[in-house]
Structure 1
C-alpha cells in the first residue's frame, strides 16, 4: 500500500465517460493496529467492501468495525482511514465513482426522486446500512457482480456496472429515504473533518517541524483536552501517534524511492536521532529502515 503526500486524493479514473473504478487493496501479513487505508479525502463517492480479515474504519469521526462481507458507504468529501484488527492477510475493494456517472438519468423523474438526493448531498446514506437494516446485506450481491464485471471487462461492462450500482442505490433509497424525509434519520451528520483538513495537510507537508498538542489545539482554537478527543475520534489515533505514523509513512516512501541515507531521511522527517528513528520506524512498520530498503 502506498501513501501519497497529499491529504486530498485526486482519484485517477481513466474512463471519463464512465467515471467509476474498482481498486483491489491487499495487505499481506497485517499486524493488529496496522494502517490499511491512509487518512485522506476525495470528491468522489466510495464503497468499501471487506473481503478478508477484520478492520476498523474511521469515517466522519465515527468508527466502524468490519469483517468479510461488510460494506461501508463513504460520503464524498469525508476524511476516512482504516486499521487492521487482526493478524494475517487483509483485503478489501474500494469502489470509487463520481455523481456524473448517472448524468444520463438526470431527466428521469423517478431517478430525481430516489437517487439524486444522495448524489447531490441533500441526503446521505448510512455509512453502514446493515447496522440499521440487516436486510440490506441482500443487496450487496450487486457489488460482487459489479466487481466481477470490472475484472473481466467484457464488451459493455461499463453499462452493466452502472446499472448494478444504480439498482443498489435505488434499493437503499427505498429503505432509508422515507425515514430521512420524515426527519427520523439525520440527513447531514456533523462532520468535524472539515476544520481539521488544513491542520493535517500542514503536518504532512512539514514533518521536519516539531508538532505538539498545544500548538495544534491553538491552531484550531480548541483547548487541548477537546482537541485530543476530537482528533482521536476523527483519525482513530492520538495526535502524537498520527504524527509518528505520517513520519514512518514518509520515511518508507523515501527509503523505497530515493537513494538518501537513513540518517538523511531521519532528519527530513524530524528525527534528529537516528537510533530513535530506527525504533520509531520499526514500531510502525515492523522492520528496520535497512530491512525496508533491502
Structure 2
C-alpha cells in the first residue's frame, strides 16, 4: 500500500549516526501505468534495486526504464516518481543514503578527489551506470550485500553497510570520474523543479483539495500551457491524471480499511458524483470500488 503522506523530504532514518535506511517496497497486483512511487524528493541519495517486474521512473523529468536486477541511482534533491510498466507484482528495494554517512572521510585526500565531488553534487553518477559501462554490474554485489545487512541487522551491521556503500561509491567514481570534469558543477536536470516542490507537497498532503489547472499554474508562476507541458514532462502524467491517481489511492485505502459506504468514500476523495467515482476508480485500479473492497 502506498503512503501518500510519507513523501516530502522527511525520510525516516532510524540511526542518525548512520544515516541510511532500507525500504523494501512490495507493490502487488499493479496495473500497467499504476503509480508505484509517488512524486517526491529528499536531500539523500536513493539507490533503487528492481527485484521483480518492470517500472518507468521519471527523475527530474527524464524517463528511465528499470527491469528486474537493474539499479537506478537518484541524486539528492531530484524529483522522482515511478509507474508499473505491466500488470502484476512490482518489487523493489530502495536504499536511502545521506552523504553525512561518510563524514569520517572528509580529511582523506583520496576521498576528497574521487568520492566527495559526487556527494557534494559537483558531478553526478549516471542514473543507470551499467548502460554507461558494463563493469558496474560487478559492483552491485556490494549493494546487495548492504541490503542483506540492513534487512537482517546482525551485530555491527551499520559498519558493514557503511563500508559496502563507500566501496560502491568509490568504484563508481573511479569508473566515471575520468569522463567528467571534477570542477564542473552539475546542472539541474530540471531547472524549474524548485518552483514545483511546494505545489507537489500540497497535492500529496491534500489530494482531495479542489484545485484547477489554472490555479496550479499560478502557484508556480507559469501560464497554463507551459505548466501543463512541464508537469507532464516531470511526472509522465497530466496534472488532472496525477491528482486523480492520488485520490484513487486514498479511496483504495478507505475501501479496504474503513466501513464507509462507497458514496461516502467518493465524497471523501473529492468526487461528488458516485457514478463518476466508480468510473475513475475502474480506470485507475482496473476494478470497481465494490471489487476493491473485497480485494
Q: Give the TM-score of the pair, scaled to structure 2.
A: 0.90
Kindly indicate whether the alpha-carbon contact (under 8 Å) linking 1:73 and 1:126 is maintained by their aligned counterparts in 2.
yes
CA contact (8 A) 1:130 1:136 kept: yes
Q: Name the structure 2 match of 1:71.
A: 71
Partner residue of 1:221?
221
Moved more, 203-212 or 165-174: 203-212
| Alignment CA distance shift 1:129-1:284 (3 Å) | same
Name 1:196's counterpart in structure 2.
Answer: 196
Aligned to 1:158: 158
CA separation of 1:106/1:226 partners in 2, compared to 1, >3 Å: closer, same or farther?
same
Counterpart of 1:56 in structure 2 is 56
2-side partners of 1:148 and 1:5: how far apart?
A: 27
Aligned to 1:265: 265
Provide the C-alpha distance between the structure 1 equivalents of 2:185 and 2:229, rounded to a whole number of angstroms: 23
1:100 and 1:186, CA in 2 relative to 1: closer, same or farther beyond 3 A? Answer: closer
Provide structure 2 residue ranges, at least 5 long, that are not aligned to the other structure.
Answer: none
Cα deviation, residue 207, structure 1: 3.7
Cα drift, residue 281 of structure 1: 1.5
Q: Once the 2 structures are TM-superposed, how far is the Cα of residue 85 of structure 1 from its aligned partner?
A: 0.7
- Quote how far apart the aligned CAs of 1:210 are: 3.5
Q: Name the counterpart of 2:114.
A: 114
Give the match for residue 104 of structure 2: 104
Change (3 A) 1:198 1:90: same
The residue number in structure 1 matching 2:243 is: 243
What is the distance in 1 between the residues matched to 2:182 and 2:162? 29
Change over 3 Å in CA distance of 1:283–1:75 after alignment to 2: same
* RMSD between superposed Cα atoms in Å: 2.1
Partner in structure 2 of residue 181 of structure 1: 181
Contact 2:123 2:182 in 1 (8 A): no
Q: CA deviation at 1:52?
A: 1.2
Q: Which residue of 2 aligns with 1:230?
A: 230
Return the alpha-carbon distance in structure 1 between the equivalents of residues 141 and 205 of structure 2: 41
TM-score (norm 1): 0.91
Q: Following TM superposition, by how much is the alpha carbon of 1:166 offset from its aligned partner in structure 2, in angstroms?
A: 0.5
**How far apart, CA to CA, are the structure 2 residues paired with 1:120 and 1:288?**
48
2: CA distance between counterparts of 1:221 and 1:38? 23
1:54-81 deviation digits (Å, cap 9, x = unpaired): 1100111110011112111111122111
- Runs of at least 5 residues in structure 1 that lack an aligned partner in the other structure: none
User: How far 1:113 sits from its partner (Å)?
Assistant: 1.6
Moved more, 243-252 or 152-161: 152-161
* Deviation digits for residues 140-193 of structure 1 (CA, Å, limit 9, x no counterpart): 12111112222332222221111111011111111222322168x872233232
**1:4 to partner: Cα distance:** 2.4
- Tell me the CA shift for residue 21 of structure 1: 1.7
Deviations along 1:72-113, one digit per CA (max 9) or x if unpaired, are: 111112211111112222211101111111122222121122
Decide whether aligned partners of structure 1 residues 186 and 225 sit closer, same or farther in structure 2, where only a CA change above 3 A counts.
farther
The answer for the alignment partner of 2:252 in structure 1 is 252
SS at match of 1:167: helix
SS in 2 for 1:49: strand
Mapped pair 1:169 → 2:174: no
**Bigger CA drift: 93-102 or 283-292?**
283-292
CA distance in 2, matches of 1:36, 1:163: 30
Residue 5 of structure 2 contacts residue 205 of structure 2 at CA under 8 Å; is this kept in 1?
A: yes
- Tell me if structure 2 keeps the 8 A contact 1:180–1:187: no
For the pair 1:86 / 2:86, whether they are aligned, the reply is yes
**2:291 maps to which residue?**
291
| Offset at residue 3 of structure 1 (A) | 2.0
Question: 2:106 & 2:291 partners in 1: Cα distance?
Answer: 54
